[in-house]
């Protein structure tokens, strides 16, 4: 396993043999992804308000569940590898429960775990084969917004967020997806950018 000298996260190559795996199910799902503070939740909420089916971020669900049990964010994030594997399992169950023929926008998808496994010090090839169960209709990567929250579920420092932003694009691209970058715009303009792109790609 290789680690970047700059940030100590794994930059392990994805297994070339596994990358040739055919996708099992074509879907009408659109992925909204990005690093922390990229506006994913805002866009998902906008889509939901328009009556479009969405799937919330499983990491957020996991944290909400654990916090309801009395745990703090710091306690939940203490065991990074266990946390990431738990989120990966939740995401698999979520996607297996969705109708592949129904247009749905996902706040992150299973291939996001490839990047977050790297952050956790785990080999992304551990879950690479799982990423070929479903093929998504499109993948949108939101550019980071110029603000910070006090508490975030994902990596909170600049180096970590930059790594996530870069490797989300690299990992999805390695799977054969055209990753569409969504620039920093007003929320309604960003939403229009995504919906117009989908309409234009039909």
**Tens digits of residue pLDDT in 56-115:** 999 888 888 888 888 888 888 888 888 899 999 999 999 999 999 999 999 999 999 999
Q: Please say whether the beta carbons of 159 and 106 come within 8 A.
A: no
CATH, residue 150:
3.40.50.300
| Per-residue pLDDT tens over the stretch 118-176 | 999 999 999 999 999 999 999 999 998 765 554 445 555 778 888 999 999 999 999 99
Is residue 6 situated within a structural domain?
A: no
44-71 core/surface letters (b: 16 or more CB in 10 A; e: else)? bebbeeeeeebbbbbbeebbeebeeeee
Domain total for the chain? Answer: 1
**Could you tell me the residue range of the domain that residue 86 belongs to?**
22-200
The DSSP result for 27-53, as a single string, is --EEEEE-STTSSHHHHHHHHHHTT--
Is residue 5 situated within a structural domain?
A: no
pTM of the full structure: 0.90
Is residue 4 situated within a structural domain?
A: no
């Amino acid at each position: 396993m290789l680690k970047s000298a700059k940030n100590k996260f794994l930059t392990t190559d994805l297994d070339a043999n596994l990358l040739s795996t055919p996708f099992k199910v074509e879907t009408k799902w659109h992925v909204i992804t990005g690093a922390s503070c990229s506006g994913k939740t805002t866009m998902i909420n906008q889509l939901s308000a328009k009556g479009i089916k969405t799937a919330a971020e499983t990491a957020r669900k996991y944290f909400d569940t654990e916090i309801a049990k009395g745990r703090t964010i710091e306690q939940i994030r203490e065991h990074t590898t266990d946390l990431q594997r738990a989120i990966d399992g939740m995401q698999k169950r979520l996607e297996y429960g969705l109708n592949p023929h129904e247009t749905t926008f996902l706040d992150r998808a299973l291939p996001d775990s490839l990047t977050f496994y790297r952050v956790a010090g785990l080999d992304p090839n551990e879950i690479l084969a799982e990423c070929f169960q479903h093929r998504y209709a499109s993948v949108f990567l939101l550019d980071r917004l110029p603000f910070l929250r006090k508490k975030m579920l994902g990596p909170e420092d600049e180096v970590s967020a930059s790594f996530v932003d870069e490797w989300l694009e690299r990992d999805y691209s390695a799977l054969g997806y055209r990753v569409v970058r969504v620039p920093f715009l007003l929320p309604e303009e960003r939403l229009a950018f995504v919906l117009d792109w989908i309409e234009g790609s039909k």
